């Protein structure tokens, strides 16, 4: 809302100054119109005197009138505004006006001018205003017009840059049966919005009526980058009578796709666990297979994961660490060396696995990894573990990084110091704690600093 008010106020000031409407705001941006409505009220009420009638062109003058704080001014401008197509977005805004006479007149006019072409053009504004308390009228009107529209006139909405518009358009297309199962599957595989992906994928599978349609639906879904689309395709393999293909997705990079694949092969009478064990013991192990083994395996399967900590592929090493954590067999002594792994993903997973055991790790080794000469991902993991220890060790590590050249680490360290409190292992009256707090006194008020020292058993 603050951004809208700021941009709308700036556009309003430009209009008042005589700048043409097309230069005062981006007339193709739905948000610019709703922002202008806010901005004009701000400007007219508090900032400047109303402009002379001839201070700007007719479109600029009408735009200011349509957004004016005075409802009578807004209502009087409606009929004239209809003759200027560029101002129709403000007619949509006024159709949700809080003043009943303005609202009713704007709705009548909008109903008269909203043909298919205008509906496609105004859809982003209508859907944006439709989220408001009195905005449902515009959405109902838009639906009515578009449901009667020829299929080809709606195609621009399916590739619109506004995802809210795409969601609306595809919902209408699904409800109206305007797209074939294959078209829906291709849309699900290409669109970057998860709502559209799910809507189109589910509709594509549900719309299949004959055996010949499955190839047209399954191939786009199974090859999609979207996990949601792939999951829908994998699940549909059972209904399509092709459960055997689900095996190739048991090692998918997505957890939801792996779960769907396991469901399909199990319903086909196959246990996926032996498949995972065979893959993890073989030379061509994939990261997804490692994770899949941990997801459905047993603690004894950790014996297949430990050797993978030395695998040449970083993704396999990282997934092996994560798998050991999932199986609850993470051994700090065997995992700690991986804190120096050259791959950030491996170190990140190792730190996560070691967090429950942070208090048992050698503090000196972690402090050494904080050194400025170490790779950043190693330093981050070491500080994460030291911070998790709490007590004097956490304070010592955080204060050591307060002047670090890495801005993010420095900020994180400052936050750690500010939330620090003595732990159960902090020796009461420890002079080192007092010295560390004094070094960080710029992070506290005098009152809070005294409070921390009192908690630590130190004189204020």
Query: pLDDT tens across 126-163, in order?
Result: 999 999 889 899 999 999 999 999 888 888 899 999 99
DSSP string, 209-229: -STTHHHHHHHHHHT-SSHHH
pLDDT per residue as tens digits for the range 347-362: 999 999 999 999 999 9
- Count of CB atoms situated within 10 Å of the CB of 328: 9
* Average pLDDT score over the chain: 92
Share of the chain above pLDDT 90, in %: 85
Residue 47: per-residue pLDDT = 53
Residue 11 Cα distances to 25, 27, 86, angstroms: 6, 11, 16
Is residue 420 pLDDT above 90, yes or no? yes
Between 44 and 410, residue with greater pLDDT: 410
Between 47 and 313, residue with greater pLDDT: 313
| Range 277-283 average pLDDT | 92
Between 172 and 52, residue with greater pLDDT: 172
Q: Minimal CA–CA distance to 381: which of 362, 406, 402, 409?
A: 409
CB 68 within 8 A of CB 49: no
pLDDT per residue as tens digits for the range 194-227: 999 999 999 999 998 877 679 899 999 999 999 9
- Tell me the C-alpha distance between 117 and 150, whole Å: 11
pLDDT band at 4 (very low <50, low <70, confident <90, very high): confident
Contacts 24+ apart (CB under 8 A), 218-226: 218/185, 218/242, 219/185, 220/182, 220/185, 220/186, 220/188, 220/189, 221/185, 221/188, 221/189, 222/249, 223/189, 224/188, 224/189, 224/190, 224/197, 225/189, 226/188, 226/189, 226/191, 226/192, 226/194, 226/197
Share of the chain above pLDDT 70, in %: 97
pLDDT per residue as tens digits for the range 73-100: 999 999 999 999 999 999 999 999 999 9
């Amino acid at each position: 809302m603050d951004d809208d008010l700021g941009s709308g106020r700036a556009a309003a000031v430009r209009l008042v100054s005589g700048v043409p409407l097309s230069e005062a705001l981006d007339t193709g941006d739905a948000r610019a119109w709703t922002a202008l409505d806010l901005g004009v009220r701000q400007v007219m009420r508090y900032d400047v005197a109303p402009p002379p009638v001839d201070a700007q062109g007719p479109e600029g003058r009408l735009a200011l009138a349509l957004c004016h704080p005075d409802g009578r001014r807004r209502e009087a401008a409606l009929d004239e505004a209809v003759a200027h197509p560029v101002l129709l977005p403000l007619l949509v805004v006024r159709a949700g006006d809080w003043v009943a006479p303005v609202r009713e007149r704007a709705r009548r006019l909008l109903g008269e001018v909203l043909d298919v072409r205008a509906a496609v053009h105004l859809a982003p504004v209508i859907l944006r205003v439709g989220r408001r308390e009195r905005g449902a009228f515009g959405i109902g009107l838009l639906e009515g017009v578009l449901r009667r529209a020829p299929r080809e006139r709606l195609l621009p909405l399916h590739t619109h840059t506004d995802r809210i518009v795409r969601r609306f358009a595809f919902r209408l297309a699904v409800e109206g049966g305007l797209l074939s199962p294959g078209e829906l599957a291709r849309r699900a595989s290409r669109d970057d919005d998860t709502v559209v992906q799910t809507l189109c994928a589910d509709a594509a599978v549900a719309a299949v009526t004959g055996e010949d349609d499955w190839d047209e639906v399954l191939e786009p879904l199974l090859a999609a980058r979207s996990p949601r689309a792939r999951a829908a395709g994998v699940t549909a393999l059972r209904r399509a009578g092709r459960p055997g293909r689900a095996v190739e997705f048991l090692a998918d990079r997505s957890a939801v796709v792996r779960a769907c694949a396991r469901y399909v092969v199990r319903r086909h009478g196959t246990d996926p666990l032996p498949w995972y064990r065979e893959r993890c013991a073989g030379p061509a192990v994939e990261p997804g297979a490692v994770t899949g083994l941990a997801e459905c395996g047993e603690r004894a399967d950790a014996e297949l994961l430990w050797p993978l900590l030395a695998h040449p592929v970083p993704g396999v090493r990282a997934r092996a660490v994560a798998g050991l954590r999932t199986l609850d067999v993470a051994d700090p002594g065997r995992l700690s060396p991986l804190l120096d792994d050259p791959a950030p993903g491996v170190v990140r997973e190792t730190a996560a696995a070691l967090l429950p055991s942070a208090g048992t790790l050698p503090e000196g080794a972690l402090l050494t990894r904080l050194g400025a000469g170490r790779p950043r991902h190693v330093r981050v993991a070491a500080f994460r573990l030291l911070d998790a220890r709490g007590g004097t060790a956490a304070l010592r590590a955080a204060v050591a990084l307060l002047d670090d050249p890495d801005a993010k680490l420095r900020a994180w360290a400052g936050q750690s110091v500010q939330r620090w409190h003595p732990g159960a292992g902090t020796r009461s009256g420890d002079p080192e704690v007092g010295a560390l707090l004094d070094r960080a006194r710029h992070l506290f008020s005098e009152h809070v600093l005294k409070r921390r020292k009192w908690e630590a058993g130190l004189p204020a």
